[in-house]
Amino acid sequence: MAGSNRSASLKDTQRSIPIGTLAATLTTSSLYLVSVLLFGALATREELLTNRLLTATVAWPVPAIIYVGIILSTLGAALQSLTGAPRLLAAIANDDILPVLNYFKVADGSEPHLATLFTAFICICCVVLGNLDLITPTITMFFLLCYAGVNLSCFLLDLLDAPSWRPRWKIHHWSLSLLGALLCIVIMFLISWSFTLVSLALASLIYYYVSIKGKAGDWGDGFKSAYFQLALRSLRSLGANQVHPKNWYPIPLIFCRPWGKLPGNIPCHPKLADFANCMKKKGRGMSIFVTILEGDYHECAEDAKAANRQLSTYIDYKRCEGVAETIVAPSTTEGFRGIVQTMGLVNLKPNIVVMRYPEIWRSENLTQIPDTFVGIINDCIIANKAVVIVKGLDEWPTEYQRQYGTIDLYWIVRDGGLMLLLSQLLLTKESFESSKIQVFCIAEEDAEAEELKADVKKFLYDLRMQAEVIVITMKSWEAHVEGHDDSMEAFTAAQRRIAAYVGEMKDRAHRENAPRPVDGKPMLVNEHQVEKFLYTTLKLNSTILRYSRMAAVVLVSLPPPPLNHPSHFYMEYMDLLVENVPRLLIVRGYRRDVVTLFT
């Protein structure tokens, strides 16, 4: 490795190092072999084992020449180490591999004076010990570890067919490198098993320290090729078939900035990453944080790269396992439509779209939000993606804010068990571990209430989930509406706004002598159906306020946007649903079960 240690001083490293290394190895091996034959011819076995200065005894012309040769050889080896080791130490420091070695950095073409002094100090300390038998095994172990590492890197690069692996020495096979690495380890154990274990432990600690604190250099890493091939094989083994509920993992697509404006230095809502961690058990799993920049790609490409770096920094700061993606599109709707179709690979595509509820749309008069909001939900339904909309994200608790209220589920439609799974994942978080789950179901008649309650309890028991089941009958559901003035006030206000909007559509249709346009398309609006939908939403909101006003979080099914209803009408329904509910998760599952009865 002497040539590699002084590679910075060589004119043509690719030519000089292989030729010099092979020539030195062949020369020294030949001399050692000849020495073995000559010593075997002139001395007995007993003399070879007992006489350490046999060479001086048989030397020609005088024995003293051997002593001179030993001294010169020792000085030569020391000078070689003093010229190679400091350069190697300075090169490691310049690559920022070990931050603690930053003091030994040198400029290009400069001599590593400080590294030379440090190396000389270590050599003097070893000499002061006065016993080479203590030093030799340690030095030998590190040399053998170095050779084993080089052989292991060559083995991985050759075995994994890395495109960058193009050795000039064509007579090469990965098995030779593996054999060399194994021989180095075996020789280490044969020399001293205790020194070997200490050396391997020390090398492992250094590798771990480098992986945590060190900076990535431009020299690559053999293990990264192995990780890449392992990831490819894992993806191929996953395939594109439907995942069994027992193996289903949430892969949330976090929609970072869809509504309104955040300060320029904030790439995402501060609580979105906290919520994303709540959707994963012990924080493990992949999340995809997406930001859409509206504009022309050629003009906004650099802005998108800067925004993506900022978003990645935010994800690392929040300690969330995820990746950042920034998309440039003419509009948010088109950008999201492209994302939901193309993001991910095979079964590692995002399966849940997470976004905050646009509470600001009416107060800030953001009239384009209803169309975008409804378009995103419809795109998720077509792409078969689950949807989780978070209302009250500003008040979402951090991991240190313990909650003592209940987690209430209003199970209105079948969602594949997604709401149940989310509630169980919330319980695994420290902030919600003191909460209890309550499941609310709606029964048509009073006579069906007990039967429905027993069925739901049996279902939850089979799923190994603990929850209290509460059944609400349609008769009591009707009675809840009358007792909440806040809900009735919001309901009346929504009625007035819808009536005004319908009046505008009628006037426009009368002037243009055409059917009433809905979101730019000529359609007929069923006013009776709109009123019924609004009243049903009022009943659900009143029920939530009656039973879950003190809940830590409420989960309710997301109603799909009705056909032939303007997007502004749907926003009125949703605003009425979330009215006065401080923390609400509106959930829509997809056409797959995410929980299973089978262990």
Q: What is the pLDDT of residues 418-461, one digit of tens each?
A: 888 888 888 888 888 888 888 888 776 766 778 888 888 888 88
Element (DSSP H or E) covering residue 327: strand 322-329
Name the burial class of residue 312, with classes exposed (0-12), middle (13-18) and buried (19+) by CB atoms within 10 angstroms of its CB: middle
Is 410 inside a domain boundary?
A: yes
Q: Which of 47, 111, 55 is nearest to 83 (CA)?
A: 111
Q: What is the pLDDT of residues 95-131, one digit of tens each?
A: 777 778 888 888 877 888 898 888 888 888 888 887 7
Q: What is the pLDDT of residues 186-231, one digit of tens each?
A: 999 998 888 899 888 988 888 888 777 766 555 566 677 777 777 7
Is 84 inside a domain boundary?
A: no
Is 74 inside a domain boundary?
A: no
Q: Is 581 left (phi over 0), alpha (psi -120 to 50) or beta?
A: beta
Q: What is the pLDDT of residues 287-340, one digit of tens each?
A: 888 888 888 888 888 888 988 888 888 888 888 888 888 889 888 888 888 888
> Is the separation of the CB atoms in 66 and 59 below 8 Å?
yes
Extract the tokens encoding 190: 């044969």
Q: Which of 542, 278, 550 is nearest to 438 (CA)?
A: 550
Please indicate, yes or no, whether the overall pTM of this predicted structure exceeds 0.75. no
Q: Residue 222: what pLDDT? A: 64
**Domain harbouring 507, CATH code:** 3.40.50.12370
Q: Report DSSP state, residue 473.
A: E
Long-range CB contacts for residues 177-185, cutoff 8 Å, separation at least 24 = 177/151, 177/152, 178/151, 178/152, 180/147, 180/148, 180/151, 181/148, 181/151, 181/152, 181/155, 184/144, 184/145, 184/147, 184/148, 184/151, 185/144, 185/148
pLDDT band at 495 (very low <50, low <70, confident <90, very high): confident
Is 553 inside a domain boundary?
A: yes
Amino acid symbol at 454: A
Is 233 inside a domain boundary?
A: no
Is 284 inside a domain boundary?
A: yes
Q: With 60 as the cut, is the pLDDT of residue 599 above it?
A: no
Extract the tokens encoding 349: 């595509």
> Is the separation of the CB atoms in 468 and 440 below 8 Å?
no
Is 471 inside a domain boundary?
A: yes
pLDDT band at 523 (very low <50, low <70, confident <90, very high): low
Number of structural domains (the chain) is 1
Domain that holds residue 559: 245-588
Is 409 inside a domain boundary?
A: yes
Compute the chain's Rg from CA coordinates: 36
Q: What is the pLDDT of residues 149-182, one digit of tens each?
A: 888 888 887 887 777 777 777 777 888 899 999 9
Q: With 90 as the cut, is the pLDDT of residue 514 above it?
A: no
* Alpha carbon distances (Å) from 219 to 12, 148, 224: 18, 18, 12
Average pLDDT over all residues of the chain: 81
DSSP states of 290-302: EEEEES-HHHHHH
Tell how far CA 499 is from the center of its chain. 49
Q: Report DSSP state, residue 12.
A: -
